[in-house]
């Protein structure tokens, strides 16, 4: 039994679709299908999960970049913004001379009968005050106070002499004031604080 004649373009492959047909078995030819899943071609799809493309987010945590809008640490430079190391003094020598200026005043009052309280602050100012502004500030404050009360003490002695000793207690009262405030200033200086003496006239500028 002979095989029926085939169309000229049928080819050697019996499964190949006949020219002009819509495809094997009535299906559309390859390439006529929509992309798998029915999605639009790549590139036309929206970004993943509806989020904006990378780069549209703020920096992690929502904060500005480091160094923008924030103080460094919230504190001042080393030392926390306080005085120099050692309780407000650059060196231990500065602290020593500041204490001499303040505590030396009451000592001079006792030794000099209320008239020599200014000697120790003057020595401190001349010895160390030229090298250290801190010592100079302490020494000048003590010097002005002790000079003021040395003058008051001298006037109290004159008053005692005029009254033939009747007002002998006046110099004693005058001595107490520079002693008390000199000790208070020395304690404050030990803590690194410059004490502001009351009842003091500025003979020497700081």
pLDDT (tens digit per residue) in 171-202: 888 999 999 999 999 999 999 999 999 999 99
3-state secondary structure of 122: helix
Q: Which residues contact 67 (CB under 8 A, 6 or more apart)?
A: none
Q: pLDDT exceeding 70 applies to what percent of the chain?
A: 57
Q: Which residues contact 178 (CB under 8 A, 6 or more apart)?
A: 105, 106, 109, 114, 117, 145, 146, 149, 150, 153
As a whole number of angstroms, the distance between CA 187 and CA 190 comes to 5
Is-contact 134 89, C-beta < 8 A?
A: yes
Q: What is the pLDDT of residue 123?
A: 96
Q: Where are the domains of the chain?
A: 92-190
Distances (CA, A) of 105 to 45, 73, 100, 109, 149: 89, 43, 8, 6, 10
Taking only the tens place, the pLDDT of each residue in 81-136 is 333 433 478 899 999 999 999 999 999 998 987 889 999 999 999 999 999 999 99
Q: What is the pLDDT of residue 185?
A: 97
Is-contact 173 152, C-beta < 8 A?
A: no
Q: What is the pLDDT of residue 43?
A: 55
Taking only the tens place, the pLDDT of each residue in 124-169 is 999 999 999 999 999 999 999 999 999 999 999 899 899 988 888 8
């Amino acid at each position: 039994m002979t095989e029926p004649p085939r169309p000229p373009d049928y080819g050697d492959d019996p499964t190949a679709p006949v020219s002009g047909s819509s495809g094997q078995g009535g299906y559309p030819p390859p390439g006529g299908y929509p992309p798998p899943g029915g999605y639009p071609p790549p590139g036309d799809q929206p970004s993943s999960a509806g989020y904006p493309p990378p780069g549209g987010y703020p920096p992690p945590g929502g904060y500005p970049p480091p160094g923008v809008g924030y103080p460094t640490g919230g504190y001042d430079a080393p030392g926390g913004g306080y005085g120099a190391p050692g309780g407000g003094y650059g060196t231990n020598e500065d602290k020593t001379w500041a204490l001499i200026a303040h505590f030396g005043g009451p000592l001079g009052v006792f030794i000099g009968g209320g008239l020599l309280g200014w000697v120790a602050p003057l020595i401190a100012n001349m010895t160390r005050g030229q090298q250290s502004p801190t010592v100079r500030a302490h020494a000048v404050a003590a010097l002005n106070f002790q000079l003021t009360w040395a003058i008051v003490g001298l006037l109290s002695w004159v008053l005692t002499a005029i009254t033939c000793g009747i007002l002998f207690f006046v110099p004693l009262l005058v001595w107490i004031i520079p002693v008390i405030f000199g000790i208070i200033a020395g304690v404050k200086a030990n803590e690194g604080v410059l004490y502001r003496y009351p009842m003091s006239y500025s003979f020497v500028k700081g």
